[in-house]
Amino acid sequence: MSENRLTLGEYIIENQSHFEYSSGELSKLINSIRLAAKTVSHKVNKAGLVDIIGAVGDTNIQGEDQQRLDVFANDAFKKALINREIVCGIVSEEEVEFIAVEGKKKTNTNKYVVLMDPLDGSSNIDVNVSVGTIFSVFRRITPVGTPVQKEDFLQKGDMQVAAGYIIYGTSTMLVYSVGQGVNGFTLNPAIGTFYLSHPDIKIPYKGSIYSVNEGYYSHFPDGVKKYIKYCQEEKDDRPYTSRYIGSLVSDFHRNMINGGIYLYPTSSKYPEGKLRLLYECNPIAFLAEQAGGKATDGFKRILDLEPKELHQRAPIFCGSKNMIDKLVDFITSNT
């Protein structure tokens, strides 16, 4: 069955000339991500058997307890990108500062930087729930051949060249976009090959799933509270269905396929929102728009936000257009 489908490797070669990355640099980058994804997928699938569950005892820059798999995934993706010298810089949720990738023999002349959440939803590992990896790619803005600077990473999401995620779920999938739509590839673990299983993914215009941590309901802004009540109201095609895994990648993936809205608003616990702009909100927003959906902080497109810090947070609402438009109506009429 899968033998009839295009592999990710074949897809990259076939499409290389259509994209601006015809130099092959971005193809190599995606190839390295594919490699690290397989390593992490293999580890995640054995998580209950090998000594990989639990916390390492350290906290990261956001004050979260680092899980062993957070550290493993961070190392796997870093190694894949650094050893092959295919990027000039990396930002990771698990690293305080950005990493400037030096060339081993010569100056690093690569033009791309990668920003990543190596393991998303890591609080779910110990209970065997889907987790993911998120990545975002920009072209550097400082001169090629010089060490990367912070400003190379602090670019508006609109400047992304590519973005994607890996979901380690019932099967492992790599979903990504280079700005020409969104494609999903499923891993056949028996032979370690990703096949094009979900070509040109589109988010249904009208969705009927809402995904939010309702435990924080009383701390949400009024417009968001009213929208959640609207979702629950018995009228027309409502109430909508509530689904919340607590892994952004998994929640977004489901809503992108079935149609829905994902909400992580500001709250008194997280006055700036919880999710990180550079390696969670931006890449997910890029994919949402590429799939025909929307992503906003309630007032502005996520992709128009000007980043100030590597680990800054932002509120995010993303998914089906009709649901985002309705939510924005509630937010603007309640501020």
Site for ligand AHG, rule CB under 6 A: 64, 93, 117, 120-122, 213, 246-248, 274
Binding residue (CB under 5 A) for Mn ion from 117, 152, 251, 289 = 117
**What DSSP string describes 72-116?**
HHHHHHHHHHHHTT--SEEEETT-SS-EEPPPSSS-----EEEEE
Minimum distance of Mn ion from residue 206's CB (angstroms): 28
Residue 75 touches which member of Mn ion, ligand AHG, none, C-beta under 5-8 Å by kind: none
Residue 238 carries which side chain, given as an amino acid letter? R
CB 285 within 8 A of CB 315: no
- Largest interatomic CA distance in the chain: 66
Please report whether residue 75 would count as binding Mn ion according to CB under 5 A. no
Q: Beta-carbon neighbour count of residue 312 at 10 Å? A: 15
- For ligand AHG, the closer of residues 61 and 82 by Cβ is 61
- For Mn ion, the closer of residues 26 and 99 by Cβ is 99
- For ligand AHG, the closer of residues 197 and 213 by Cβ is 213
Please report whether residue 120 would count as binding Mn ion according to CB under 5 A. yes
Minimum distance of ligand AHG from residue 322's CB (angstroms): 23
The contacts of residue 111 (CB under 8 Å, 6+ apart) are 25, 88, 139, 140, 144
Please report whether residue 289 would count as binding Mn ion according to CB under 5 A. no
- Closest listed residue to residue 168, CA positions, set 118, 132, 116, 119: 132
Minimum distance of ligand AHG from residue 281's CB (angstroms): 11
Interface size with Mn ion, residues (CB under 5 A): 5
Q: Give the interface with Mn ion as residue ranges (CB under 5 A).
A: 64, 93, 117, 119-120
